[in-house]
Amino acid sequence: MKSDYWDVDDQHVIEKTGRKLAEWKKILDGFKAVDKKSNDVVAFLQNDHNVPRYWARTLTTNYLKSKA
């Protein structure tokens, strides 16, 4: 997977989701995303936080890569 897909900065994330990466990290920590399947995390972001699919996948990948 190309890193430019998930290696994003706050400016782009705020523009597309309304929140900073650090805020999403806290939300995903609270959801215990590191222990879940990535598709479940994407669905959580889409359904519970109205994040568009592309950005839900990007945030999920960014988060999981930061935990690796």
| Residue range(s) defining the domain that contains residue 43 | 3-67
pLDDT at residue 3 tops 80: no
pLDDT band at residue 60, thresholds of 50, 70 and 90? very high
pLDDT confidence of 64, banded at 50, 70, 90? Answer: very high
Work out the average pLDDT over 38-65.
Answer: 96
Helix 53-67, helix 38-49: angle, nearest 10 = 130
Q: How many domains does the chain have?
A: 1
**In the predicted model, is pLDDT for residue 30 greater than 60?**
yes
